[in-house]
Amino acid sequence: MSESYMIKVEKLNKSFGDLHVLKDIDITVKESDVVCLIGASGSGKSTLLRCLNFLELKDSGNIIFEGEKVEKETHDLNKVREKVGMVFQHFYLFPHMTVLENVMEAPLHVKKRPKDQVKKDAQELLNKVGLSDKENVYPSKLSGGQKQRVAIARALAMKPDIMLFDEPTSALDPELVGEVLSTMKELALEGMTMVVVTHEMGFAREVADWAVYMHDGRIVEVGHPEDLFNNPKEQRTKNFLDSVL
């Protein structure tokens, strides 16, 4: 690697039928960066995130992950996904498994690591997100905030190099947003590389190293959150910020 970037996107394009969702996206995320993607719904930020995880496959352009250009023809995308953690807006915990089983599932069945180790790691992760007492509970018994913290622990259990968050607090009641954001903040302080699609401008301001404003499938403006929020260079960024802040 010439630079220490984690993931580099070059001229990425993606369409759904006639809808051109991502247009010539260029973005580079360095190790330990925390990047917030902001923009109105439909601006393509979630699709960009899903492309980074190869849940959506690009139409053209390059995605270079840890120095390697990843193509579905030459790479086992499952292997790549093991290193890219993902947290969804609607959690998607596995409802037929307990909290502990949720966290153990992938290390056990994807990485095929020994069960006692996996269990120990999972318990540590649950402790870290403050849910040790919920180990043997099924997801249906948890609040939204607790579900999302389990989802974070589940993703971390694969020991990913980068974590992607797709509007992790958008489905939560307002009083539950804080606990999820503080878990994420803790993760950021530990040096985890994170890309976060969010409407939480406070979180972006406080935690992000830089923020990206997207509009209509393009990156309009990139900058340190403080600069971007206080002195946007582009009129479109200003309009968006006026509507949300």
Partner 1 sequence: MDLLTKFIDTYPVFLKGMLLTFQLTIVAVFIAIFIGLFFAFLKISRIKILEWIADIYIFLVRGTPLVVQIFIFYFGLTALDISQFWSVILGLAFHNGAYIAEIFRGSIQSIDKGQMEAGRSLGMTAGLAMRRIILPQAFRRAMPPLGNQFIIALKDSSLASFIGMYELFNVATTYGSNEYDYMSYLLIVAVYYLVLVLIFSILVNMIEKRMASSD
- Reported for 144-149, long-range contacts at CB under 8 A and 24+ positions apart, including other chains, are 144/91, 144/171, 144/172, 144/173, 144/176, 145/172, 145/173, 145/176, 145/177, 145/179, 145/180, 146/179, 147/91, 147/93, 148/87, 148/91, 148/172, 148/180, 149/179, 149/180, 149/183
The distance of closest approach from Cβ of residue 108 to partner 1 in the complex, given in angstroms and rounded to an integer, is 10
Q: Is 97 in the site for partner 1 (CB under 8 A)?
A: yes
Binding residues for partner 1, total number by CB under 8 A: 30
Of positions 37, 104, 106, 208, contacts partner 1 by CB under 8 A: 106
Q: How far is CA 8 from the centre of its chain?
A: 15
The distance of closest approach from Cβ of residue 73 to partner 1 in the complex, given in angstroms and rounded to an integer, is 17
Residue closer to partner 1 by CB (options 53, 218) is 53
Region of residue 171 (phi > 0: left; psi between -120 and 50: alpha; otherwise: beta): alpha
The distance of closest approach from Cβ of residue 245 to partner 1 in the complex, given in angstroms and rounded to an integer, is 30
Longest distance between any two alpha carbons in the chain, whole Å: 56
CA-derived radius of gyration, the chain: 18
**Structure tokens, 93:** 């915990």
Residue closer to partner 1 by CB (options 17, 243) is 17
Per-residue x/- track, 148-187, partner 1 (CB under 8 A): ---x--xx--x-----------------------------
Q: Is 95 in the site for partner 1 (CB under 8 A)?
A: yes
Interface region with partner 1, contact rule CB under 8 A, candidates 1-9, 36-44, 114-122, 147-155: 147-155
Q: Is 136 in the site for partner 1 (CB under 8 A)?
A: no
Per-residue x/- track, 50-89, partner 1 (CB under 8 A): ---x-x----------------------xx-xx-xxx-x-
Residues of this chain that interact with partner 1 (CB under 8 A) are 53, 55, 78-79, 81-82, 84-86, 88, 90, 92-98, 105-106, 109-111, 138-140, 151, 154-155, 158
